[in-house]
């Protein structure tokens, strides 16, 4: 994968995608990940409202894991079957951000994430907004910002951390300390998030400064 920070010239040549394949299997997997967002949020909400509703945390985990797995397969299948499309390229990162962001907000709301750990969640949310805004601006300049290998590790760390925290209170009944373990993973994800966010901003700043010069 080409890193815009190390090769800005290559970054001006975006990957060619087609406008078809809107209902291809890779895109259907991406759509399913978007649908999973309100389902996970609803499970977390009702797990606190209903008496004995802790079992809904496990339902949320199952939905979340299935959605997270599709994050790998939609991109892999799109490349393998040459079904890369404009809508898929747009929705894929959005679906990831929606899934993680909505889950973090619900976990903060029910107290699974609290105290100093809220800063880790805040770092993740702010970075996603910053990078999304940067990508939108650079798109107007016809500059592509490819996803780096470290950014993929960051996404994986976020997905695993949030998945563990979704099980949180329910898993603690079986193995005490799972929530604490998830909080540790969340901080690791936040540190990776800070680094990759700075890397993207540094790469984008070259084009910002170049425009003003």
In a domain, 2, yes or no: no
Distance separating alpha carbons of residues 126 and 203, to the nearest angstrom: 18
Range of the domain at 154: 10-212
- Tell me the pTM: 0.78
90-121 pLDDT per residue, tens? 777 788 888 999 999 999 999 999 999 999 99
Query: In whole angstroms, how far apart are CA 172 and each of 44, 120, 128, 161?
Result: 16, 21, 30, 15
Q: Establish if 3 belongs to a structural domain.
A: no
Residue 45 is assigned to a structural domain of this protein: yes
Return the SS3 of 170: helix
Q: What CA–CA distance (Å, rounded) separates 164 from 151?
A: 20
What is the total count of domains within the chain? 1
Contact call for residues 167 and 61 (beta carbons, < 8 A): yes
Of residues 49 and 22, the one with the higher pLDDT is: 49
With respect to residue 75, please indicate whether it lies within any of the assigned structural domains: yes
| Any domain includes 104 | yes
Q: Examine residue 5 and state whether it is found in any structural domain, yes or no.
A: no
pLDDT digits (tens, 9 = 90+) for 47-94: 888 877 889 999 999 999 999 888 777 766 767 777 677 776 777 778
With both helix axes pointing from N to C terminus, report the angle between 55-80 and 149-172 in degrees, rounded to the nearest 10: 160
Backbone angles phi, psi at 85, to 5 degrees: -135, 160
The C-alpha atoms of residue 105 and residue 97 are separated, in whole angstroms, by 12
Residue 4 lies in a domain: no
Percent of the chain with pLDDT over 90: 35
Q: Residues 168, 169, 174, 176: is their CA dihedral positive or negative?
A: positive
CATH number assigned to the domain comprising residue 96: 1.20.120.1760
In a domain, 197, yes or no: yes
- Identify the DSSP state of 39: H
Chain mean pLDDT for the chain:
80
């Amino acid at each position: 994968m080409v890193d815009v920070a190390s090769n800005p010239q290559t970054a001006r040549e975006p990957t060619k995608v087609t406008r078809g394949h809107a209902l291809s299997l890779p895109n259907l997997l991406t759509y399913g990940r978007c649908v999973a967002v309100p389902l996970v949020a609803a499970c977390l909400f009702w797990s606190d409202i209903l008496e004995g509703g802790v079992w809904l945390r496990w339902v949320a985990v199952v939905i979340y894991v299935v959605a997270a797995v599709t994050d790998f397969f939609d991109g892999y299948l799109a490349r393998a079957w040459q079904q890369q499309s404009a809508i898929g390229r747009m929705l894929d990162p959005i679906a990831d951000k929606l899934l993680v962001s909505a889950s973090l907000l619900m976990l903060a709301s029910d107290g699974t994430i609290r105290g100093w750990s809220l800063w880790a969640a805040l770092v993740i949310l702010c970075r996603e907004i910053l990078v999304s805004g940067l990508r939108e601006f650079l798109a107007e300049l016809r500059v592509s910002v490819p996803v780096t290998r470290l950014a993929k590790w960051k996404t994986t760390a976020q997905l695993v951390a949030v998945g563990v925290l979704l099980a949180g209170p329910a898993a603690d009944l079986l193995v005490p300390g799972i929530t604490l373990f998830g909080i540790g993973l969340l901080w690791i994800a936040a540190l990776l998030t800070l680094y990759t966010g700075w890397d993207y901003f540094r790469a984008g700043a070259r084009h910002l400064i170049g425009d003003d010069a």
